[in-house]
Structure 1
């Protein structure tokens, strides 16, 4: 189950890698603007990821309780939530695009960022539907369609970026606007493909798309009880990373471009534990529905062991292959020098970053989302942000200072989430299992 999800995550971030490579071919300013614009798009898309995030543990628990007869009805309400969420996300991205001239960004970057956002924003409703369908695949443990559709999306993205971004195949060159158009085309195609898969025979026993119903608040509300804290958890973390991207734009074009490269590489590495985290949420949700504490403990031990192995692999990759990886983006010596420093720092937080996302996945499967949300808020905004800000702007460390803040925040988050999981398991032990614990 985890392997297709990890593969899908790697392919998903590959779309961003392709976008960055094409932006790098357009020029230094386009690379920097593309990085900031991609960060803003991701920030807007968090509502789609987070508010759909309650769907997987909800459906997994129903399946664990052998209540398959209502899985389809709950999923269809999730699709309504996706449509609403995607519309709000689009409005958010367009609003940020309108406010760009008021931000303290270098003047040459503002029109370039707007070009991307004004076209990529329209991909967000389709992206929300993709996330809803993906959550259904995770909950049912039928994850291969997610991987297949992601392969399709990557192929289309490569062709569309080359056509609209660089003007290949006889198309006009639209630059960053073309990359935004490609993003919208890819998301719409992926949403249609996943809906097609979910209507097929492999998913027939769950009746996911067997009827059409209007939105029902009674079914949407329980999902939101889980989804809103998940969304806020993601918002706290992503808000920190977006703030770092914007601060890089204030420091300089070189630093912003180098940060874009480093984030692109580390995001690719992060997809390994993130894909595992999605699988852990679904697996833990099922054993939680079955009220099997022994099985839950097994999921925790095996999940964290795999997380450590993945972290060792990514640390080795970032240290040994940092220059070849950077060269995929640019041959600018100034960009290479700064990006290499940032990748060495990235190697330092691979274990804590992987651990915190795996722990979040396990806790979500146990329907524990509120305290982890508060942990993230504290770790990122009471630890990471002030430390990074003062290191960069007051103590003279510049770009590396911002990344030291990230290291501190991720490490504190991993430690506190581990303590939270241990405390929950100890409580379950004392109370004699899941059923006795609210």
Structure 2
């Protein structure tokens, strides 16, 4: 990261940060994408099982990773304020916290997995696949959290190409693992959707090991000596990160979990409907990695400028990100509309599943517009370390507006299962509007504050 003086310089720097993050996020989600696509080609029951498993796994994993994302604005502001000496200990305590959270999540999952699945009206094979998909993917939960913590540290230094390099190595290996364990190739057992969980766990261990090795040996990370001067865990340091990370994590959890809640509500419909819903949501989520990447880049850029008390520059980055997100939403909408049949057939060739998937994709065109506007706003606010208000905004928008309206539309109108997707559109739109208002207020408040100093 470095100071910029013109809009052209800002666009150049922002692009240099964003493009590797974008490739990294798309590649990371591509693992889930290939899990879903390859499981679907193993059978509709396998796809539905992975859908249910993912609906439980993704909110938890992304929520915890959101908590760990606190390291990005903290490190970015330390670097912006030229306070590099406090960076290593901040990262070490973050690693301790990642391990602790991984253990807690594993214990809770062990106790609650069967009771939760038993509450759902699932076919026997779908329940079996969902259960063991979650058990196998859980083997890699601690290395996944460690990797994401260290990746946020790497990105906060502006070294986003490193994260891209690691994921580009891991992605083809993840596909190969999927091919082995889903379809029983190269001497591996044929496990269907459960094999996708094994493949993901192996990949998490792999990327964690590579990331630790790079931080240990490669400059500028090696200069911080993160793995050479271990200290004891500090509850106070954990609390400092959690004060920022918990609101971030819950904000992400509320947004992601509404999709998972919809998937769980879908369990009352046919296996084909569940499979079609999962296929459409999976591809739409793949596109969402673009505005999510913009959000991550904004957290770094805005955090750096705020740390240096250059509030006008931080504001410029914020609006750059919003404009980029809206432009991408327009392009993505045309892609979904023009290639709905081809997208549907990626997941399953059953004519009924394909037709249902195309219907769901139509609704995805609209809610991804709200996502593309709202995600950069969240990223910008994280750069300001303004996370508590956005937490409440997310709760109200997604769970008190979006989900109830979706349930009403699904059960009391002719929309049927598509009513839940209408609820997603309503909730995401409400969230985006309130986030914009919060960002506008905060920017003006800080401009006034620093104008008087």
TM-score (norm 1): 0.96
Give 1:78's match in structure 2, choosing from 94, 98, 104: 94
Equivalent residue for 1:140, pick from 132, 142, 157: 157
CA contact (8 A) 1:44 1:92 kept: no
Q: Deviations over 1:148-201 (max 9, x none)?
A: 111122111111111111101122212222221111100010111111111212
Aligned-partner Cα distance in 1 for 2:355–2:449: 55
Looking at structure 2, the residues matched to 178 and 251 of structure 1 have their Cα atoms a distance apart, in angstroms, of 25
Q: Name the stretch that deviates more: 90-99 or 63-72.
A: 90-99
Q: CA deviation at 1:47?
A: 3.9
**Match for 2:82 among 50, 66, 72?**
66
Map of 1:174 onto structure 2: 191
Please point out which of 34, 38, 46 is paired with 1:18. 34
Answer yes or no: is the 8 Å Cα contact 2:183–2:190 preserved in 1.
yes
The answer as to whether partners of 1:60 and 1:282 remain within 8 angstroms in 2 is: yes
Pairing partner for 1:383 from 401, 417, 422: 401
Residue 186 (structure 1) aligned to one of 167, 185, 203: 203
- Once the 2 structures are TM-superposed, how far is the Cα of residue 211 of structure 1 from its aligned partner? 1.5
Superposition deviation, residue 427 in structure 1? 1.4
Q: Does 1:276 align with 2:294?
A: yes
Q: Within 1, Cα distance between the matches of 2:333 and 2:148?
A: 29
| Offset at residue 100 of structure 1 (A) | 3.8
Would the aligned equivalents of 2:177 and 2:199 in 1 still touch at CA under 8 Å?
yes
Question: Which of 330, 333, 350 matches 2:348?
Answer: 330
Q: CA deviation at 1:377?
A: 0.6
Greater displacement, 361-370 / 101-110:
101-110
Partner in structure 1 of residue 231 of structure 2: 213
Tell me, what secondary structure is at the counterpart of 2:186? Answer: helix
2-structure distance, mates of 1:150, 1:91: 28
Pick aligned residue for 1:255 from 273, 281, 284: 273
Give the SS at the match of 1:170.
coil
TM-score, length-normalised on structure 2?
A: 0.93
Checking the alignment, whether the CA contact within 8 Å between 2:97 and 2:238 is kept in structure 1 is: yes
Partner of 2:213: 196
1:362 equivalent among 380, 386, 395: 380
* 8 Å Cα contact 1:44/1:90 also seen in 2: no
CA distance, structure 1, for counterparts of residue 63 and residue 93 of structure 2? 16
CA distance in 1, matches of 2:380, 2:108: 30
Whether 1:121 and 2:134 are equivalent positions in the alignment is no
Which of 334, 337, 348 aligns to 2:366? It is 348
Listed as ranges, the gaps of 5+ residues in structure 1 are: none
Task: Single out whichever of 345-354 and 1-10 deviates more from structure 2.
Answer: 345-354
Q: Give 2:50's aligned residue.
A: 34
Alignment: residue pair count? 435
Task: Write the distance in 1 (CA, Å) between the matches of 2:35 and 2:77.
Answer: 37
User: Residue by residue, what CA displacement relative to the aligned partner does 1:374-412 show, whole Å, maximum 9, x if unpaired?
Assistant: 111110111111111111123242221000000000000
* Map of 2:10 onto structure 1: none
Report how far residue 218 of structure 1 moved. 2.4
CA apart distance, 1:225:
0.6
Structure 1 residue 76, shift from structure 2 partner: 0.7
Q: How well do the aligned residues superpose, as a CA RMSD in angstroms?
A: 1.5
Equivalent residue number for residue 22 of structure 2: 6
Partners of 1:290 and 1:276 lie apart in 2 by 21
- Equivalence for 1:303: 321
Shift of 1:101: 4.5
**1:71 touches 1:207 (CA, 8 Å); kept in 2?**
no
Q: Which residue in the other structure is 2:431 paired with?
A: 413
Q: CA deviation at 1:343?
A: 0.9
SS state at 1:342 partner:
helix
State how far apart, in whole Å, the 2-side matches of 1:94 and 1:206 are. Answer: 37
Whole-Å separation in 2 of the counterparts to 1:405 and 1:30: 27
Distance 1:277 1:210 in 2: 32
Find the aligned partners of 1:8 and 1:92 in 2 and give their Cα distance. 30
Match of 1:107 in 2: 123
Q: Check if 1:423 corresponds to 2:441.
A: yes
Q: For 1:225-240, what aligned pairs fall within 5 Å after superposition? A: 225-240=243-258
> What is the distance in 1 between the residues matched to 2:37 and 2:242?
37
Instruction: Report if the CA contact (8 A) 1:57-1:367 is conserved.
Output: yes
**Quick check: 1:89 aligned with 2:126?**
no
TM-superposed CA distance for 1:333, in Å, is 1.0
Q: Distance in 1 between matches of 2:241 and 2:98?
A: 12
- Checking the alignment, whether the CA contact within 8 Å between 2:406 and 2:422 is kept in structure 1 is yes
Greater mean alpha carbon deviation, residues 146-155 or residues 266-275: 146-155
The CA deviation at 1:226 is: 0.2
Matching residue of 1:339: 357
